[in-house]
Amino acid sequence: MHDDVCERQASGLIKAFRGIADPRKRQRILDLAEQLANDPPSDTAEAGVQEAPN
């Protein structure tokens, strides 16, 4: 993945995360992100990636 795409995605993720007021929901997102980071990549990991509109 290109650095500029990664930067935009990270920025969007941070912006969305900061908009979540409920600390339990933020914790659920952190838990999910950690779980996904530890999962092995799927065969179609790169093929299905599409940039979300801003």
pLDDT of residue 2: 79
Question: Rounded to whole angstroms, how far apart are CA atoms 8 and 16?
Answer: 12
The DSSP code sequence of the chain is --HHHHHHHHHHHHHHHHT---HHHHHHHHHHHHHHHHSPPPTTTTTT--PPP-
pTM (2 decimals)?
Answer: 0.62
Q: Check residues 51 and 7 and name the one with the higher pLDDT.
A: 7
pLDDT tens string 15-52: 999 999 999 999 999 999 999 999 998 876 555 555 55
